Amino acid sequence: MDVDLFEDEELDIEIELRVRELARRNYLDYIQYVNNRYDAQDFHTVIADHLQRFAEGKIKRLMVTCPPQHGKSELSTRNLPPYLFGRNPNYRLGVLSFSASKAHKFSREIQQNIESDKYKVLFPDSRLATHKDVLAKRTEQEFDIVGKRGNLKAVGRNGPLTGDPLDIIILDDLFKGADEAKAPKIREKTWSDWIVPVVESRMHNKSQMLYVTTRWHEDDPAGRFLHRDGIYSKSNPNGWVLLNFAALRTKDVLSYDKRKEGEALWPAQHSKERMLTIKKDSSGTFEALYQGDPKPSEESVIFNDWIEIDEFPEVYDEHFVGLDFGYSNDPTAATHIAITGRIIYLDELFYETDLTNPDILDLYLLTGISPEVQVICDGAEPKSIEELKRGHYKPGGVKVPGINAKACVKGPGSINAGITKLKEYTVFYTKRSLNIKAEKNNYAWVMMGGKATNEPIGEWNHAIDGIRSAVFTQKSKPQGGTSRVKTYQAKSGRAY
C-alpha cells in the first residue's frame, strides 16, 4: 500500500512537471495553468495561438479587434507581459491605453500575476523588486525585472515614453468611447502628435507591436495603421496580421473563424438575440463596436450614389473650382467641378493642411487651370479671398498672378440647400480623387434612434463643403426634383 502511494505521488509529480513545461512553452497552456478557471472559447484559442507566434517573434505586427467584454484584454494585456518576461526577462515592454489610470491598472494586474505562486514556479528568474532591491524600480508607472534588463512602462494616451527603446509595445483601446473616437482633433492629435512621433520613435528594427481594440471609427488609430501599413502578406512583410472577430459571423471568408453566418461569437455571454437588439437600436454603432467594421450605415450616408470614373471629361458645358479653406488641423480642399446638363464631374486638385494663401495660389497654378476660371471660396474668409485675387510676389520680385476668386453664397439653411442642390444631379468623381471618395463614403446624417435626421455630421466635409457651396452658388436655389442618367461614358484626358 505504501508502495502504491509512493508510485501515485511520483506519477503526480511527473504529471505536474509535464504540465509546467507545457505552460512554459505554450501560451494557452500557461494561462490555464496560472488560472485554472479560465474558460477558453474557440476564438480565444485562435487569439492565443497568434499571441504564441507573436511571443516567438514570428509575427511582428498583430492587431486583434473584438466586441467589448469578450476577453481580449485578459489574453493580450494582463497575461501576455508576464509570459513574455518568463520567456525573456530582458524584454523592454510598453503597455499603452486611453488613460494613465487605465494603463496603471493594467500594470498593477500584470505585477499581481508575476507575484503569484504559480508564476514563480514556472519562471523563478523573472521577479519583481522587494524592499531589499533598492536599485530596481517598482511602481504602477514602471517596474523592472530584478537582475535583468527587463522593464515595463505603463503610459496613457499622449503620455511620455522616455528612456530606452522598447522591444514590444502593447496598445489596448486608445479611445475610451465614441465621443473621443468621433472627435477629429482627438484622432489627429493621437496619431500625429503621439503615435508617430512618440510611440513609434521608441521602436527599433526588431520591435514588435500588438494592438487590441474595439473599433469606434473608420479613422481611429487601427484604421490609420491599416491604411498606412496594409495587411501582412509575403509581398508586404511589414503589414499587420489582423484578427477581426465580429459579434455575429459575417459572410467574409476567414480561415480562422469557423462559425456559420449569423452565429454569435460567445453565445453564453452575449447571445445572438441580444446582439440583434443592439443592432436594431443603433446599426452604425453595432457595425463599428460589435462587428469591427466602422462605417456609416447606408441609410445615413448622404451621397451614397456618387460614381467613380477613370478621367475628367474633355468636354462640358461649364466649369469652376470649389475651395474650402483649412489650415493646421483641417485641410484646404480644392476641387475642379464641371457640369453638363444634369451631370456633375469632380476632380480633386489638392487636399492639404498647413497651406498659406501663397501656397494655395502656387498649387492652383500648378494644376494648369486658367486663373480666369471662377474659384468659389468659403465666404467666412474674406481676407484670404482678397489675397488670392491680388496674387503675391516671390523672392526676387517674381509676380505670381491672382485668381478669379469670389465668396460663396451662404446663409441660414445653406448647408441643407446645397446638399439638396447636389442631389438634383448625377455626380461622377475621378478615381484619383481619393479624399473626395473618402468623404463621400463617410459624410452622413446624424442618427437618432436608428433613424437619419436632417442634420449632417460636422466632419468628413472639407472637399464636400467646397463642392456643395460652389455648386449652390453657381446654380442658385434648389428647384426640386431629381434627374438621373443610367450610364455615361466620360472621355479621357484633362480639360486643362
245, 261, 289 - which closes a domain: 245
Copy the grid coordinates of residue 458. Answer: 460636422
Q: Inform me whether the pLDDT recorded for 479 exceeds 80.
A: no
Note whether residue 42 is domain-resident: no
Name the least confident of 238-252, 289-303, 305-319: 289-303
Q: What is the pLDDT of residues 79-137, one digit of tens each?
A: 999 999 999 999 999 999 999 999 999 999 999 999 999 999 999 999 999 988 888 88
Q: Give me the pLDDT at residue 183, please.
A: 82
Q: Give me the pLDDT at residue 493, please.
A: 36
Domain count, the chain: 2
Q: What is the CATH number of the domain that holds 355?
A: 3.30.420.280
Note whether residue 341 is domain-resident: yes
Same domain, 189 and 332: no
Same domain, 225 and 355: no
H helix intervals, 62-99: 72-73, 80-87
Note whether residue 158 is domain-resident: yes
Give me the mean pLDDT over the 272-285 stretch: 88
Give me the mean pLDDT over the 12-31 stretch: 94
Q: What is the pLDDT of residues 333-392, one digit of tens each?
A: 999 999 999 999 999 999 999 999 999 999 999 999 999 999 999 998 999 999 999 999
203, 227, 245 - which closes a domain: 245
DSSP state letter for 418: H
Note whether residue 4 is domain-resident: no
Note whether residue 489 is domain-resident: no
Name the least confident of 7-11, 61-65, 194-198, 468-472: 7-11
Same domain, 447 and 334: yes
Q: Give me the pLDDT at residue 4, please.
A: 58
Note whether residue 258 is domain-resident: no
Give me the mean pLDDT over the 55-81 stretch: 96
Nearest partner of 143 among 171, 112, 117, 172, judged by Cα? 112
Nearest partner of 122 among 76, 74, 167, 82, judged by Cα? 82
Could you give the CA distance from residue 64 to residue 355 in angstroms, rounded to a whole number? 37
Q: What is the pLDDT of residues 155-175, one digit of tens each?
A: 999 999 988 899 999 999 999
Same domain, 97 and 231: yes
Q: Which residues contact 357 (CB under 8 A, 6 or more apart)?
A: 384, 387, 388, 392
195, 229, 245 - which closes a domain: 245
Could you give the CA distance from residue 82 to residue 79 in angstroms, rounded to a whole number? 6
Q: What is the pLDDT of residues 235-265, one digit of tens each?
A: 899 999 999 999 999 988 789 999 999 999 9
Neighbour tally for 35: CB within 10 Å: 15
Burial bucket for residue 11 (CB in 10 Å: 0-12, 13-18, 19+):
exposed
- pLDDT band at 316; cut points 50, 70, 90: very high
Same domain, 339 and 420: yes
Q: Give me the pLDDT at residue 488, please.
A: 33
- pLDDT band at 454; cut points 50, 70, 90: confident
Note whether residue 50 is domain-resident: no
Same domain, 188 and 335: no
- Expressed as residue numbers, the domain containing 160 is 58-245
Same domain, 156 and 85: yes
8 A C-beta contact, residue 110 and residue 94: no
Note whether residue 287 is domain-resident: no
Q: What is the mean pLDDT of the chain?
A: 90
* R_g of the chain computed on alpha carbons: 29
Same domain, 240 and 316: no
Same domain, 232 and 341: no
Same domain, 241 and 315: no
Q: What is the pLDDT of residues 376-392, one digit of tens each?
A: 999 989 999 999 999 99
Same domain, 134 and 64: yes
Q: What is the CATH number of the domain that holds 176?
A: 3.40.50.300
Q: Give me the pLDDT at residue 452, please.
A: 77
